[in-house]
Amino acid sequence: MNKKGEQYEDQAAFFLKEAGFEILDRNWSCPMGELDIIARKGETVAFVEVRARSSSAYGLPSETVNRAKRVKIIRSAMSYIKARGLRAETFRFDFVGIVPGRAPEHIEDAFSAEGFGF
């Protein structure tokens, strides 16, 4: 990851901590892909994709998470759940978008893993 990407993920992690999340892991990798941030709030574990744009002139960061990227995130999350032996919790996929000079955009339950068989 480049230095800017790391800076944006640091900003997202700080934002999530301030919102009451516990950061469980960052930049967790497996053969299916990478998970930017895995965080817990109460009984919910959120797999958080972080995206940044230098400005919103060409769209919002949330618009950059296409179907192929969502599939990679879901498959990576399934691998994480298995590797960590997580059970009986609520899992969801969140998104944090960063545009310099603006507050982070946090979308809870940004997309679903319906049909993937958690």
Could you read off the pLDDT of 46-68 as tens digits, one per residue?
A: 999 998 876 565 666 566 678 88
Q: What is the mean pLDDT of residues 75-99?
A: 90
Query: Looking at residue 86, what is its pLDDT?
Result: 85
The type of residue at 113 is A
pLDDT at 88 over 70: no
The residues, ordered by sequence, that sit 6+ positions from 94 with a Cβ below 8 Å of its Cβ are: 39, 46, 47, 48, 49, 106, 107, 108, 109, 110
Residue 28: how many CB atoms within 10 A of its CB?
A: 19
**Could you give the 3-state DSSP secondary structure of residue 111?**
strand
Residue 39 forms beta bridges with which residues?
23, 46
Rounded to two decimals, the pTM is 0.88
Could you read off the pLDDT of 12-46 as tens digits, one per residue?
A: 999 999 999 999 999 999 999 999 999 999 999 99
